[in-house]
Amino acid sequence: MIQLRIFRNTDPPALLDIWNESFTGRGAYPLRSAALLEHCLFSKPYFDHAGLILAEDEGKAVGFVHAGFGPNSAETGLSFDTGIICTLAVRPTFRRRKIGSQLLQEAEAYLRHLGAARIVAGGMRPLNPFYFGLYGGADSPGFLASDALAQPFFEHHGFQPVATTLVFERKLEGYQPVIDPRFVALRRRYDVQLIPQPEIQSWWQECVLGNFEPVEFRLQDKLSGITAARALVWEMSGGRQPGHGAAGILTVQVRPDVQRQGLAKFLLNQMIRYIQEQFFRTSEVHIPEQNEPMIELFKSLGFERVDLGRSYHNPSEASHPTAAPSPPA
């Protein structure tokens, strides 16, 4: 008989086993110890035992679901308006027994008990309290299409896609820098700088990214000293092939008054060349599907689409009361 309970401090080995059995696609990092669970889950200041729910069969953990919340608009604390189903996993040999459905129901009850009026399935920045670095690759993509069971499961429970991000990858072996006639003038005007410890812009970003220590590349005007463009990149933990280092590009920003002059392309070209020289094998970036200029930019640099991610929400959830029974004990 399946029983549900909240997380206990002795559960990490069981979570590790369930994770490795359940997430075998390109976007999941295989766990060899519980250390990454500590970095990506338990060390977060907002981690709540009650939000991590396990399913047991005769005392053996066979699945889990993890629910949480995103930041307020200033990213200075949590907002309980929107709840997030961060991940859900059931051991393959225990599937098709409605265990996932029970876990989802309990996670929704937990979120509504704490005030969530809306529930999203699949963490996507900034609604990504957990699992950055463990699942998704360069960023938090919701649930990847390469995890073929996710979409039919959530759609069966009334959830519909609400946001889509495209996953692009660039093999760096033999990378040849892009040539653009605008680069000559840009090289004269701007310095490319590497900032090993960039300033994290909010409490929330520090919580999500802090353990992974991203580095910043920026273009600085040689005359004024003003930063014209910046990009954040981090050394990805993921990849199922040991020794195949991967760099994840997190953000690319250009100051509004100097946009459409080739600065982003110039900065990325320099950054990718540097990454290649550090013996990284691939680079990855996630781009919202509606951001066509950014998609075209990365395509011009040789990036190819390899996956997509989606987050989901239940449009009928407004009919549910925001108050619910206490979280499962």
Residue ranges of E strands in the chain: 2-6, 52-57, 60-71, 78-90, 118-121, 143-144, 160-171, 190-195, 215-221, 227-235, 246-254, 282-288, 304-313
Q: What is the pLDDT of residue 321?
A: 46
* C-alpha to C-alpha distance for 214 and 226, rounded to whole angstroms: 21
Q: Are 14 and 56 in contact (CB under 8 A)?
A: no
Q: Are 264 and 280 in contact (CB under 8 A)?
A: no
Question: In terms of Cα–Cα distance, which of 14, 29, 116 is closest to 61?
Answer: 14
Q: What is the pLDDT of residue 241?
A: 47
Pairing of strands 78-90, 118-121: parallel
DSSP readout, 85-98?
EEEEEE-GGG-SSS
Question: In terms of Cα–Cα distance, which of 88, 81, 73, 85 is closest to 124?
Answer: 85
Pairing of strands 246-254, 282-288: parallel
Q: What is the pLDDT of residue 272?
A: 94
Q: What is the pLDDT of residue 175?
A: 83
Largest distance between two CA atoms of the chain: 71
Q: What tokens were used for 79?
A: 């907002």
Could you report the average pLDDT of every consecutive run of 10 residues in the chain (329 residues)?
Answer: 95 97 92 91 96 96 98 96 97 96 98 96 96 94 96 96 97 88 96 89 91 93 95 77 76 95 96 91 96 97 96 74 40
* C-alpha to C-alpha distance for 256 and 246, rounded to whole angstroms: 30
Q: What is the pLDDT of residue 317?
A: 64
Q: What is the pLDDT of residue 287?
A: 98
Q: What tokens were used for 117?
A: 């009026």
Q: Are 252 and 270 in contact (CB under 8 A)?
A: no
* C-alpha to C-alpha distance for 233 and 243, rounded to whole angstroms: 19
**Whole-structure pTM value:** 0.90
Could you give the residue ranges of the DSSP H alpha helices within 4-88? 12-22, 35-37
Q: What is the pLDDT of residue 237?
A: 65
Q: What is the pLDDT of residue 156?
A: 96
What are phi and psi for residue 109, nearest 5 degrees?
A: -65, -40
Q: What is the pLDDT of residue 173?
A: 87
Residues 6+ apart with CB under 8 A from 29: 36, 133, 134, 135, 237, 238, 239
Q: What is the pLDDT of residue 112?
A: 96
Burial degree of 1 (CB within 10 A; 0-12, 13-18, 19+): exposed
Question: In terms of Cα–Cα distance, which of 249, 240, 239 is closest to 214?
Answer: 249
